[in-house]
């Protein structure tokens, strides 16, 4: 990814965070406006590029993936994922991250958007700072990490920890779909906007959509905030906890009583 593309990706993520926080306007300095105007004028002087093909509406069926899942067990599927080259993410990965945890009909399957640097290095999901917070969330619900299953929409780290592209999620989704069919979790918790959109192919604002029960492959799905977002916006932890308590209620359980 070029420096320009990385800047644009970082800016998009920042603006998305601001939008989720309810920010409607941003103050821009006169100097920034001058720089933007100059950049726009330079772009206008360039030859017109061939227009890109529009992405199908969210109501359309997702593009056909080239992935052919032939594995009959999670281990066999993980082996296939290890050599997958269905999208460009394979070119920059160190390790694939298929997922881990209880594969025998766990109460909960957590699904995030994609591996970060720590996950890419270790080949395990949610082992960085966001993973530490997820572990605390799981424990607060009365579970240990090994009692649930944890996975991501994409199995390889996007360069620079950027958000996975729609085409990358579409290409990788058959792996997750096959895993889900084998694991048969009672409830899926989708962590963050990207995970929700990757599963449902629906544009959502997570601040409004979280806490809304949905279904994925016939399984109840609860959308909530990604732990990385909660690290940036700790004031949202109460809302995330309300979502997790709704999951426990659906399972007929209560949060454990805190000692002391």
C-beta separation of 142 from 257 below 8 A: no
CA distance 67 to 84: 8
C-beta separation of 212 from 200 below 8 A: no
CA distance 80 to 174: 12
C-alpha separations of 201 from 76, 109, 159, 247 in Å: 27, 19, 22, 22
Q: What contacts 24+ positions apart, CB below 8 Å, involve 141-144?
A: 141/108, 141/244, 141/247, 141/248, 141/255, 142/248, 142/253, 142/255, 142/256, 143/107, 143/108
Q: What pLDDT shows up at residue 96? A: 97
Looking at the DSSP bridge assignments, the partners of residue 142 are none
List, for the chain, all residue ranges whose pLDDT scores fall below the cut of 50: 1-2, 6, 9, 21-24, 40, 42-44, 46-61
Q: What pLDDT shows up at residue 192? A: 97
Q: What pLDDT shows up at residue 184? A: 97
Q: What pLDDT shows up at residue 37? A: 59
Q: What pLDDT shows up at residue 206? A: 95
Structure tokens at 114: 């994609």
Q: What pLDDT shows up at residue 99? A: 98
Structure tokens at 20: 């989720």
Determine whether domain 74-250 maps to CATH 2.60.120.1440.
Answer: no
Q: What pLDDT shows up at residue 67? A: 85
What is the pTM assigned to this prediction?
0.77
Q: What pLDDT shows up at residue 66? A: 80
CA distance 244 to 139: 11
Which of 20, 88, 16 shows the shortest CA–CA distance to 236? Answer: 20
The total number of residues shown for the chain amounts to 260
C-beta separation of 186 from 105 below 8 A: yes
CA distance 211 to 31: 42
């Amino acid at each position: 990814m070029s420096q320009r593309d990385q800047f644009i990706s970082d800016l998009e993520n920042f603006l998305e965070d601001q939008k989720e926080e309810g920010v409607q306007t941003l103050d821009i300095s006169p100097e920034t406006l001058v720089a933007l105007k100059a950049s726009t004028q330079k772009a206008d002087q360039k030859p017109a590029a061939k227009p890109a093909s529009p992405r199908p509406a969210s109501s359309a069926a997702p593009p056909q993936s080239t992935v052919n899942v032939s594995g009959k067990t999670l281990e066999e599927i993980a082996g296939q994922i290890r050599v997958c080259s269905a999208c460009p993410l394979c070119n920059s990965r160190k390790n694939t991250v298929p997922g881990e945890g209880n594969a025998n009909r766990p109460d909960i399957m957590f699904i995030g958007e994609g591996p970060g640097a720590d996950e890419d290095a270790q080949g395990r999901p949610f082992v960085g700072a966001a993973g530490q917070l997820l572990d605390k969330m799981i424990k607060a619900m009365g579970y240990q990490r090994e009692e649930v299953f944890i996975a991501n929409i994409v199995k390889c780290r996007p360069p620079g920890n950027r958000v996975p592209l729609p085409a990358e999620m579409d290409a990788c989704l058959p792996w997750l779909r096959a895993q889900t069919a084998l694991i048969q979790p009672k409830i899926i918790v989708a962590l963050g906007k990207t995970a929700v959109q990757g599963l449902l192919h629906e544009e959502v604002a997570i601040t409004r959509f979280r806490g809304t029960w949905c279904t994925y492959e016939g399984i109840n799905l609860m959308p909530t905030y990604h732990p990385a977002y909660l690290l940036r916006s700790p004031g949202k932890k109460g809302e995330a906890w309300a979502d997790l308590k709704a999951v426990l209620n659906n399972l007929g359980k209560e949060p454990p009583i805190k000692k002391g």
